[in-house]
A and B are shown apart, each in its own frame.
Chain A
Amino acid sequence: MTQTITVLAVVAAMLTVAARLRGPGLATRGWVTAFHSLRRQLPLLIIAFTLAGYLEAVIPQSFIRSWMGAGAGIRGILLGSVAGGLLPFGPYIVFPMGATLQASGAGTATMVAFVTGWMMWSTGKLAFEFATLGPGFTARRMAVYLVFPPLAGLLALLFFGN
């Protein structure tokens, strides 16, 4: 964790310098934007972490292990894809929930399918897509994207195990 934070701090510092070089006040504007969105998302973050914390407390680990664990194979991958795809929330909610599943014994391939399913099938974004590009585009995009989450899970299972 410390290592991750150090790397992120370096990236943030580099972006700050880049913004500073790009224009006067740009770096400050970036940080102000960041703090505004953090403040706006804070209630949601606290609720999401509370949800994940209690989920971890009540969810039987044996259930997660048998349905999503190392031995779950293709069934786990399909379940993960659908579960991720059905969650209509942003990353600040879905990632803490996913991390809870991971800590409770869900396998790597299942989690890859879960995260990819959420990223690509993303029910939460359908309304925006309908409104901008139209349902015809959404239907075609879903037809093209349908295969990828299970495929990503299978590739993870094949190359990295569960």
Chain B
Amino acid sequence: MKSAERVLALIAAGLAMLAYLRGGWGLWFKGLTNTANALTSAAWLLVLAFAISGLMEVLVPPSTIRKWLGGESGLRGMTMGCLVGALTPGGPYVYYPIALALYRAGAGTGTLMAYIAGKAIWDLPRLPLEIGLFGTRFAVIRLTVTLFVPLAAGLLGNRFFGNFRARAKEGGAS
């Protein structure tokens, strides 16, 4: 079991014990029923969410992303950064190495910040999960009020730290 799983399992066990202490077996079973209901209603959603993310992973490999963004700079680079971030599948172990490769290819601070924010905010492969668990209305509101965020993050990054060059893993400060 990985450490995150162990910590979460401990918290879940703690909460289950709290439920028993607070309301006896009745509340304990309520917790279990909540879990079973949520899992059964989300089962298909989870399968499809994983399918979409897996298919995007093979359709948009990291090499394609680097090709799209290589050498782009300025506002065009930032806009591309946001859009490509939205299309990048996978977790931080996928997109931070991509960000590093972009940096090495000459991408500016603003472009990197726009790319990371585009991934964080617009993340298309993650969207099905958000819609399924929070509802369509919430997802639409959340996307509407954060639509400007990735580009704004890029512009602010360029405005304040445009001259900063990120440290490449083996490169040292430059």
**A→B interface (CB under 8 Å):** 1, 4-5, 8-9, 11-12, 15-16, 18-19, 22, 26-27, 29-38, 41, 43-58, 88-93, 95-96, 98-99, 102, 108, 111-112, 115-116, 119-120, 122, 124-125, 128-129, 131-134, 136-137, 140-141, 143-145, 148, 152, 155-156, 159-160
Contacts and interface: CB of A to CB of B under 8 A. Distances in A.
Given A12-B52, A54-B34, A120-B120, A115 B164 contact: no
Contact of A56 (B34, B117, B157, B161): B34
A18 B134 contact: no
Interface string B17-51: 01100110001101111111111011011111111
Given A27-B55, A124-B92, A148-B152, 10 more contacts: A18-B55, A43-B1, A50-B16, A53-B36, A89-B8, A90-B91, A115-B142, A140-B109, A141-B116, A155-B145
B80 to A, nearest CB: 18
B84 interface: no
A91 B91 CA distance: 10
A57 B26 CA distance: 10
Contacts of A30: 51, 54-59
Contacts, number: 256
Given A4-B45, A53-B35, A155-B145, A22 B59 contact: yes
Interface of B: 1-2, 4-5, 8-9, 11-12, 15-16, 18-19, 22-23, 27-28, 30-39, 41-42, 44-59, 91-93, 96-97, 99-100, 103, 109, 112-113, 116-117, 120-121, 123, 126, 128-134, 136, 138, 141-142, 144-146, 149, 152-153, 156-157, 160-161, 164, 166-169, 173
A33 to B, nearest CB: 4
A52 B36 CA distance: 11
Interface of B is mostly: helix
A12 B146 contact: no
A160 B146 CA distance: 13
A47 B13 CA distance: 10
Given A12-B51, A31-B51, A58-B31, A133 B138 contact: no
Contacts of B53: 34, 37
Contacts of A19: 55, 58-59
Contact of B58 (A29, A35, A47, A50): A29
A33 B48 contact: no
B8 A133 contact: no
